[in-house]
Homo-oligomer: A and B are copies of this chain.
Amino acid sequence: MYDNLFYDKKVNALFSDKATVTYMLQFEAALAQAQAHHAFIPHDAADAIAEICKIENIDMVKLIEDVRLGANVPIPLVKQLTTLKPQSSSPNPANKYVHFGATSQDVVDTALMLQVRDAVEIIVINVNIVINQLVFLIENHRETLMMGRSFMQQAKPITFGFKVATWLDGVLRTKKRLLYILKENFTVQLGGAVGHLSSMPKIGFEITETLGGILKLNTPSLSWHTQRDRFVEISTTLGILTGTLSKIAKDVSLLMQTEIAEVFEPSGAGKGGSSTMPHKRNPVSSIALLAIAQRVPPLVSTMLSSMTQDHERATGAWHAEWETIADIVKLSAGAVRHAVEMTNGLEVNTDQMLKNIDCTEGLIFAENVSLALSSKIGKAAAHELVENACKIAVLTKKHLKSVLREDKNVNEHLTDKELKACFKPENSIGLCNVFIDNVLKNV
């Protein structure tokens, strides 16, 4: 129902039932190939297995029906495979050697590794697009003045380029983490019934290494049936990614408020509009991304709590992972997709940004005046003077600059030019450009 709202179509496709089984078949074929390579099974068996391990051979309805019997997919899948006959050979060596010496969890874990890896690779591509789009925004908005806000209160002016640079800084670190897990975490699983490969005497570890090579997965020191940190770290990293992107959505949704109106998600045909309320422009991508960010962290919690596994194969904790990690990956991919959509052509209303800087009628610049006066009349006196002026400005609804202009003490110590300078936002943006450059260096 919500495939097109909370998700990314390409990644969702990788997690369809058929795709999932296809990854499992890929494992079985590669295992046979590795075993044949080490002369553990005949080469014609490996060929025959490769031939039968095709998704079109599988009765998906029956498979899904039978999952309940053994509480996993490989048991009924292998049962189906053993009944299949390759056209090329007779008698059928596939029958005898398919899944030889492996255990269900070897299939499930390795297939999931392949599946998640393919998804993470799509995610990284999209993260790179986000990065490029953020760089573009920074370059276009280095000088765009806007209010910085703390606790949703106006604080001091910043530039929009600086704000985007803080977004980018987070995204860059998370990209680094994604590349790290792509390198470190994707690992083959092969252990047999209790992990020690008694079913592949002597040559088991070599077969594992070859299998890893075929599937382009790392080879582990030993099987990790009940050591789940790799999947968990993938999950936490995607959780951090989603969190990082949700910060962008949070800012955009707040900036799109009717009364603030500084930034808008790019409009598309029919997107975010309302036929009965022509003024509305709903932050559709932000909404989706914020919803995703609400959902992913508790799913990560499930992955972490599922690490408490018993003995050599866990009674439930393993099974709790399957749909959970799939949801984490799919939702995170959806988050990135929305970040791509949102940052591609984000509309920036620079006029409104300036207008909002002025909405407190100069109060946000009070500290500047205080500092400018300090060197002339002392810190305490300056503070008191400005504090009073602020009160008058609020009560009389006049601009602080006017109130101050009319103050004798100010007139005495600050020229009109000096006073005006205190109220120029461009004088209050600190090291925005230094920081922007720091971040851009890391791209």
Contact = CB atoms under 8 A, between A and B. Distances in A.
Contacts of A278: 363, 366, 386-387, 390
Interface string A278-299: 1111111011111111111111
Contact of A154 (B149, B204, B232, B279): B279
A162 B360 contact: no
Given A1-B20, A259-B359, A69 B229 contact: no
A310 B153 CA distance: 11
A364 to B, nearest CB: 6
A256 B152 contact: yes
Interface stretch (A37-45, A220-228, A415-423): A220-228
Contact of A304 (B239, B322, B356, B363): B239
A297 B246 CA distance: 19
A345 interface: no
Contacts of A441: 221
A438 interface: yes
A154 B274 CA distance: 12
A96 interface: yes
Contact of A280 (B155, B246, B320): B155
B438 A221 contact: yes
A322 B309 CA distance: 23
A284 B70 contact: yes
Given A243-B305, A279-B390, A359-B258, A195 B221 contact: no
A271 interface: yes
Interface string A149-170: 1111111111000110111011
Interface stretch (A48-56, A60-68, A126-134): A60-68
B305 A294 contact: yes
Contacts of A284: 68-71
Contact of A308 (B222, B247, B257): B247
A230 to B, nearest CB: 8
Nearest to A202: B431
A228 B242 CA distance: 12
A205 B435 contact: yes
Nearest to A292: B320
Contacts of A6: 319, 323
B277 A148 contact: no
B324 A169 contact: no
A354 interface: no
B272 A70 contact: yes
A254 interface: yes
A234 to B, nearest CB: 11
Contacts of A118: none
Contacts of A286: 315-316
Interface string A341-365: 0000000000000001001100110
Nearest to A279: B363
Contacts of A196: 148, 158, 162, 429-432, 435
Given A155-B194, A166-B195, A198-B431, A294 B312 contact: no
A151 B236 contact: no
Given A290-B308, A390-B279, A169 B221 contact: yes
A240 B307 contact: yes
A108 to B, nearest CB: 11
B250 A151 contact: no
Interface in A403-443: 428-432, 434-436, 438-439, 441-442
Contacts of A4: 64-68
B17 A229 contact: no
Contact of A204 (B65, B296, B431): B431
A204 B386 CA distance: 26
* A-B residue pairs, 4 tightest by C-beta: A243-B307, A290-B316, A198-B430, A148-B194
25 contacts: A70-B271, A70-B284, A148-B196, A148-B312, A152-B257, A153-B258, A153-B281, A154-B259, A157-B194, A163-B312, A166-B222, A166-B226, A173-B230, A201-B430, A205-B438, A222-B436, A229-B244, A236-B239, A239-B304, A246-B308, A253-B316, A276-B367, A294-B316, A294-B320, A297-B304
